[in-house]
Structure formats: C-alpha cells, structure tokens
Structure 1
C-alpha cells in the first residue's frame, strides 16, 4: 500500500499521479479557493473524499508549464435508469482562482468570476477491464488550459475545439471536442467569486462540422438524445464507431434545416492570422505612407505590433508553449448563442480592455489577409452562415490580442463604412464586406471545398478582389 506521498510519473514531466492524495477535508493545508471546489465535488461524491489526482510536477506560479494545479479523477457509477454508463469523471483545478493572493490570477471581489470563471470537466466511459482511470485526459485538459492562459479566450458552453487526432492517441473516431455545462456540478460560488464547470465532450469530425455550420448547443442536444452518442450526461465513449448521424440518419435533416433557417452561431475561431497593407489614412483624414509606423499593445502576455511591412508580428512570453503533435494543431471556435443582438465590442472580440484614447483608428486603402489553412477553410461558413445573416465573424490570434472581424453595414459597434471598409484600432482589425459582394466572394472561394487540413501541397493560395482592394492568402499550418 502506498503512502500519501507516493507518486509515479505518467507522461514526461507534465504530471504525476498521487495514488492517495492528501485528504481534501484537511482545511488547514488547502487554499480557500481550492477547498471551496473540493467541498462542491464532495457533495456529488460524498464517499470519495480522497480521489486519485494528477498534479503538476512544478506548480505554475513557480515557473512550471502546466496551469492546472490538480485534476481529480472520480469514479461515477452512472445511472442505469437513464442509460448513463459507469464512467470516470475528471475535474480540473486552476483556471479559477484557488489562492486569492495574486500568484496566478488578479485579486478581485465576489462581484466578478473567480479567475477565468470556470473549471474543466470530462466524463470518460469506464471499460469493464479498467481498475483505475486513464491519465491521458489530464494532458488534454492541460493543453486546453494553456490555450486559455495564452490567449485569454474563455471556453464556454457551445464552443468547439478541433484537435485533429484521437483524444487518447488511439485509432478512435473521437478526435474533436464540444463544450457544455457539466450536468452535475453546474456553477458554484466560492470565496473568490463564481465558477462554472465546463464539460469537454468528445465528438467525431462530422459532429464538429455540424456544430460549426449550425450551433454547438444544438448538436449537444442531439448527442444527449442518444445513449450511444453520450446520453443525458454526455459521457465520451472513445470506442464509439458511429456518428450521431449514422446512429439516427433523421438528425442530419434537423441540422440542415437549422443551418438554412437560423444560420450559424459560430461567432469566431482561434487562428494564425496576420495582415499587410499598402497605404493608410488616419481618422483625421491625413494621408500616411509610412509603413514603418509601429504600435505596441502590451497586455502582460503577448505584444503585437507591425514590422516595416506592417505585418502583424508576435513576441511571446511565459505563456508560450511547445505542444504535442495533436494539440499543436488545436483550434478553438466560439459559439455565440444570443443571435438577437449583433452588436460587438472591443473587449468581446479581442479579449483585451479598450486601449487608451491615444490609440487612433487607421483606415486602410488596400488589405491583404493571411490565415492558416484550417481557419481559412471557415471563410465560406463565415460568409454564408454569418455575414449573410448580418452577423459578424472574428478570427482571433491564438498567441495574442490581434482580432480580425468581418462585418456587414448592419452590424453595430463597427467603425468601418462602405467608403472606408478596412480599419485597425489597436489590435482590432475590421473588414467590411458589402451585402451584394458576399455571393461574389463565395463563388471565388468555392475551391476551398477541395482542400483538407492534411493536404497543403498547393499552399500558399491567394484570392484577389482588386476592385475592393482586398486579398486573402491561405498559409500552411506550420507557417
């Protein structure tokens, strides 16, 4: 029998498993934010006060690479009456404020969320032969946490994550993720603010695409409706060999009808993106041809500016990371559920506070945009599913505050117009596409259907609309 301090290494230097973690009820030894979350979990698992845990070898505030302090792994018996199978329930600790002393998250009051305001959970179907929980979900959760810390983009119910390989590195069809609120944990108020538990749901490529073209909550509801696709508690089965549309072909028609009548809830996606321009006029209508005019936006995470060609460049700091082959291709898409309001703001699109009044809006006469292939493949969806419905769509840099937002004249909160369609304000670039030009761009981009994420032989690929002074380049993923 192992002692409470016995540990064994799981994968590289990322984490260790504590076979018998120190009891979570020892208040004097546990930080107050962490204790609040432990107590909440104990209400769901009253007989598991000392679950197995994965913990960072070197804590993040001491210079370690992994933001999550702990990941607890509970054994959930399921509910046979609701067709919920026995499963492992993984719960993270570290995205919210555990310590309240500023070592990781800024000190706030109870009127604001704790830290980033959420923690991650994951439910993995327990196989009959399993005596202990697999630890690979911890690596997935750490990769998602690194994305949040690096980009300051939050993960919310309805969001989608492209992962591009089986989550457990097997041959499974479950290679992507949707986000939903955990059905048992929900939300809790801690001593440092509110925390929502966001559950990771493993899905197939076809289910991810349906969520992107329509909306994440709609697809989540479809998965809930079928026990073999996740059921009421959205338990991920890595051995599931059929998509929800193969299990019930009628559901494909429901998705198609939703896309046609409602458009897409996909309001933005993380991307590798940049822009260049040839000439600039300021908001004082003064002509400027000085392409070396540079700006620095420092948010204590990443600095974005322009080089001599007005390319956006990125200087990385402690949130930079080297990820494994799967998570390095990860892309996060954000679902906007409130479609009655198309208004956008600097904070909502960039994730950064509004810059000072000294930051001027610059209007660009010509604009060249660059996107990595996966982000570029979403351009037709952005045009057809968003702009055609007078909704905006944002490509958010995965390593900084740069945000490129496509709008139509009907989108409120924009600072562009038909006469000045391209403008940059701090790290926020807006691109106005007239309604009568959307179909023209869709026709020119129809060849994108021939591209796949794993076929980059013909890249870079450039699309030009000279009469609009606009061009878009698709770049290989490793550029």
Structure 2
C-alpha cells in the first residue's frame, strides 16, 4: 500500500482537553483514551495534538479527529522517543456520527486505536508531525476498505515512511507495550502499535509470521528494542546486524509455516476453454456486496482463531446460518475445465510463499482483488469446507475461485516459480504453463489492471 499523505484539510494544534472550558465535557470515547494515556504520562496533561480543522463527520478527508504526541524518556534499554496515539478508529462520541452505536462489551468502532514510537533525534525539541500524516493515511485505508488492523498484521508501504531515503519502508503491527486494552462506555479499545521495518524484515514476516519477527526486533536494541521504537536512520536490517537470526526464521517456517492467510492484490482469474474466449465473471451489485462480506468475515475469523492455524483451516464456513438469505448465484458452484491466473509482480512474488508456508502445511491462501470482488483461494488437500476436489480441482462461486493444490503440485510450483522469490530480476510480462494441470499464470505490469488502488496485506495473528 503506497502512502496517501496530505489529506487536503488544514491542520492545527488543538487545545489540550484539560485546558478546555469546563462546559465542554469531553465525549466518553475521547475521555477514555485520554485517561489511559494519562496513566502512562501523568506529567503530560497537555500533550500536543494534531487535528483536522474539518472533521470527518463534517465532510473532511481525515477520519481521525486527533493524534496526540507525547515525549517518552525511555529506559536504560529504550531510547528517548515520541509516542503518537490516535483518536478516531474507535467510537469517540457515541451518537452514531461516525461509527454504529455499540455496547460496553462490544468493540468500540473498529475496536482499536493506532500508536507509533519514533526515536527522538538529538536536538529535537518537538515531535515531527509526519507520523500523524502516516496514521491518517492508514485510517483512510481502514475507513474506505472496512478492513481492520490487528496485532500481527503487516502493511506493505513501498516507500520510506517519512518520504526520505530511509530503508524503513513497511510496517508491522503489534500490541503497544504500555497501553493495554481498555473498556469504555462505548465498547472495548485495543492499542495497536505501528512498527517501521525494512523490506527484508517484512519478507520474513510474510514467510513466517509477524509476532515471530516482532520478537526478533525486540531482542535487538538498535532494531527496535523492548518497546519497538522506530528509528528512521537505521541503516541495517536485523539480519545484517545478527545474521544468525535468519536460521530462526527458517526453522520457524519449517515447523509452523506462515500465518499470512491472504492478501489484497492486483489479480484476476479467467476460465480457459478450448472453444470459448477467456472472460471474467460478471455479477450484480447485490451479489458483489455479499461476496465482499463473506470474504471479510472469513479473514476476520482466521485472525481470531490462532489455534486453527495449526491444523487444516476452513476457506468457507460450512455452518454459516446466513446461507438462507444468500442469492442463488452464490449457492451455485460452477466447475471449470482450466484456469488462467493473472497477477502483478508483487502479488505473484507471494505465490511461492503461499505454497511453502501455507499449502504444504495443509492450509489455504487467498488473493483478494483490490479493485473488484474477484478472489482466488488456493486450497490444500483436506481443507474443511472447500468446494474443490481431486476430480474437480477448479470451482467458482460467482467471482470467487478455489483452486485445489495437492502437495505434489505445490512442490512443483515451488520449483518452477522459484525465480519469483527475487522479483527484482523478473522481466515482464512473464507466463508460466502447466498443460497437464490446465493452469496458466501470467505476471503483468501494474497498468494491466484497471483502477489500481492501494495494496494491503491481511495476515492472521
């Protein structure tokens, strides 16, 4: 996902809550977050806050009402840094102006706020404001896509987070070390910390899992340390600092595989028939909405069931009690004679990962189109709830395609697609054929795909 900085609204410094007139009682969601931060920073009752002058609920472009910025003096093992905390992913007001009204035992809004820790540079007297812009960009993605962020997730950003020449170009998500989940009158709120990482560290999280790489970063002070402070001037990856850590990642992949269950990507699938031209499926708007909801629910359930990742997982929920209201087009499974899968280079580079870290561990992996309802799910033999079989390895429900990938073919794909693990060396377009399996994969330039939008990864934690 590339940065969308700028937003377009004027920004300023909001008077801290404690300095506002007594008649202006803080809304319950704002006050709950403020009180949680006050426990960590009792001497900073008046933190600087970046705010959008035109609020989102008044037509402004920035979903976050505020971003508070605190000074953290660190510890012996943690450097001095700036601590950023968002206000707006959760329900701040409780009156339905942004989020549906919830009860105290339910998630408030999206159920989380984001934080970030940025190393304080020598001579800095105030916090840089670019992290607030970065957090607003993530908020725009979440609000527009309705995809939540969870501890253990990763976000491919493909640009220095501060628009400099830094190697810190991607993000991992983890629980904030000082801000535990809180219960508010409007629901529960978790604090998810954004951690800046290098491309090699992101790749390790993709191939293995986010929490494992987070633990590695915590063990190396200059790469984050115990509180995972992002240092935009860090010039070495954690694996260049301590090469032996690569062995930990390899061992983790061999024993537990990857917990990356799917990605939003630039992709499309086409049916291959001897007499008919290739054509993508067309569906009504109602069915498209049903598919989007079903796919998002499936990924959400994957995140909430870590234990399920240790055995074959379900690509679709067989006990879903909403099936009675699903349109007939979704209930009808269509088998295909052959398929042609098309990906951009970034998505294609994850194909070997899906085989090595998911299929060969008896799991599934989904590519969800970023500009439509198309989805491609690779399924290992024996995954419960799938609608493919050895006799019918390709099947579709509307634009959702499932592809059975037996272990022997997964191993073959790993060998044939090995060059995709080094995408910088690939010359596009590139096509791979397996005539005996009736599968063709094409890797194309981004501009082949219509209406390109931001790219974000979805991982189970």
TM-score range, shorter chain: 0.7 to 0.9
Match of 1:55 among 48, 51, 56: 51
**Matches for 1:77-156 after TM superposition, within 5 Å:** 77-80=73-76, 83-156=77-150
Match of 2:153 among 137, 149, 159: 159
Match of 1:294 among 262, 272, 282: 282
Cα distance, 1:346–1:119 mapped onto 2, change above 3 Å = farther
8 Å contact kept, 1:390–1:408: yes
Equivalent residue, structure 2, for 1:30: 26
> CA deviation digits over 1:338-362, x for unaligned, max 9?
32243235489xxx99971533333
Equivalent residue, structure 2, for 1:340: 310
Cα distance, 1:353–1:194 mapped onto 2, change above 3 Å = farther
> CA deviation digits over 1:131-157, x for unaligned, max 9?
111111112112212222222222111
**Matches for 1:30-429 after TM superposition, within 5 Å:** 30-80=26-76, 83-278=77-272, 294-298=282-286, 337-338=306-307, 339-346=309-316, 356-358=326-328, 359=330, 360-399=332-371, 401-426=373-398, 428-429=400-401
User: Once the 2 structures are TM-superposed, how far is the Cα of residue 102 of structure 1 from its aligned partner?
Assistant: 2.4
8 Å contact kept, 1:297–1:427: no
Match of 1:437 among 395, 400, 409: 409
Structure 2 gap segments, 5+ residues each = 293-302, 450-461
User: Once the 2 structures are TM-superposed, how far is the Cα of residue 270 of structure 1 from its aligned partner?
Assistant: 2.0
CA distance in 2, matches of 1:29, 1:100: 14
Structure 1 gap segments, 5+ residues each = 1-9, 281-287, 305-333
SS at match of 2:250: helix
CA distance in 1, matches of 2:182, 2:240: 37
8 Å contact kept, 1:392–1:407: yes
8 Å contact kept, 1:156–1:179: yes
SS at match of 2:390: coil
CA distance in 2, matches of 1:356, 1:185: 41
SS at match of 2:131: helix
Which TM-score applies when normalising by structure 2?
Answer: 0.84
8 Å contact kept, 1:163–1:176: yes
Equivalent residue, structure 2, for 1:469: 438
Match of 1:459 among 423, 428, 443: 428
8 Å contact kept, 1:272–1:371: yes
> CA deviation digits over 1:453-477, x for unaligned, max 9?
xx77x32322222332222222223
User: Once the 2 structures are TM-superposed, how far is the Cα of residue 183 of structure 1 from its aligned partner?
Assistant: 0.6
Count how many residue pairs are aligned between Structure 1 and Structure 2.
427
User: Once the 2 structures are TM-superposed, how far is the Cα of residue 67 of structure 1 from its aligned partner?
Assistant: 1.6
8 Å contact kept, 1:125–1:235: yes
Cα distance, 1:24–1:344 mapped onto 2, change above 3 Å = farther
Cα distance, 1:142–1:475 mapped onto 2, change above 3 Å = farther
8 Å contact kept, 1:302–1:399: no
8 Å contact kept, 1:273–1:372: yes
Which TM-score applies when normalising by structure 1?
Answer: 0.81
User: Once the 2 structures are TM-superposed, how far is the Cα of residue 446 of structure 1 from its aligned partner?
Assistant: 2.3
- The range that moved more, 51-60 or 183-192, is 51-60
CA distance in 2, matches of 1:299, 1:100: 32
More helix by share: 2
Cα distance, 1:97–1:290 mapped onto 2, change above 3 Å = same
Equivalent residue, structure 1, for 2:11: 16
SS at match of 2:251: helix
* Higher RCO (C-alpha under 8 Å, 6+ residues apart): 2
Equivalent residue, structure 2, for 1:307: none
- The range that moved more, 125-134 or 334-343, is 334-343
> CA deviation digits over 1:387-425, x for unaligned, max 9?
011111111233555432111122112122122222233
CA distance in 1, matches of 2:261, 2:396: 19
- The range that moved more, 61-70 or 369-378, is 61-70
SS at match of 2:381: coil
8 Å contact kept, 1:464–1:472: yes
8 Å contact kept, 1:177–1:202: yes
8 Å contact kept, 1:151–1:400: no
